[in-house]
Amino acid sequence: MAAKKVPVIPLPGTNGYPMIGLGTFTIFERRGSNDEVKEAVKCAIDCGYRSLDCALVYQNESSVGQAVADKIRDGVVKREDLFITTKLWDTHHNPANIRENCMKSLNNLKCGYIDLYLIHWPFGFEDGDEYFPMGDDGKARFSDHDYVDVWKGMEKLVDEGLVKSIGLSNFNESQIERVIKSCRIKPSNLQIEVHPYFSNKKLVDFCTANGITVTAYAPLGNPNRTWAGDKDPVVFDEPILKEIAERKKKSIAQVCLRFLLQRNIVVIPKSVNPQRIKENIDILDFELSDEEMKAIWSLDSGKRFYIEAIAKTHKYYPFDDVK
């Protein structure tokens, strides 16, 4: 199959950040074994994906790494052709543990260096190997490591050449400002929830004004999430999106992804389905009109679907709109 040529945006320390990538967050939703993730990554590379979005907490980095190693061995890609993102997990916010977490991801991914390394959340859980440490009272056990100190540890990884660029995930505006005021290396990217029902416009505009690129996770609203409410809207049932998709002879998923691309937002749709993987990158041969963009904007309800509820009482919990 002919590989797609995906546009890239500049990112400090890298050869550019592809605007379409493969998300690998599948393991928690029981949709995608590690073998399926491995095959999904191989399929994505064959289709032209050059960006892979990972995280230690997804518990499938080794499968991603094996797929990448196989494709490099087969001569399909070189390491420098790929852009690999992964994330520092919340139980490694102790500055003394940051390098260890990074090395664990590097060993899993077998990639030599990480192109973009993100702080997954601004809050931390109790240090240790348990991803979500819980007390006998059923509540999460927190750490109080300051994310500004965590950022200083991230900067050292750049100095050491382990990572090319560093950024944030799920931070709010005031938290980002605080990092910027104290940093030596400015955050290059913010990964946040963005989809037709949650435009996150104010935060995206803030990042744009400050030279920070934005990546949208859950760009389709992740309608199959296990915690979805019965009354939560679903993009695939949305009449406005159906009408635009029919007019463009594209799928609703392709319309949603194109909407974000035209907002200059990187998209990382996740799938282990080969047909959907191919479909999600096939969004470069059409454009949405101003009227169509406006129609999709009208769907914004300000409702986020990812709230990480177990951390709501942490002093660094980022979502002021979550009650």
Annotated binding residues, as ranges? 120
Binding site as annotated, residues for substrate: 120
Q: Choose, from 17, 58, 117, 317, the residue flagged as catalytic.
A: 58
Q: What is the C-alpha to C-alpha distance for residues 146 and 203, in angstroms, rounded to an integer?
A: 21
Tell me whether residue 58 is one of the annotated catalytic residues. Answer: yes
Name which of 52, 139, 136, 141 is nearest 91 in CA terms: 141
- Residues with catalytic function: 58
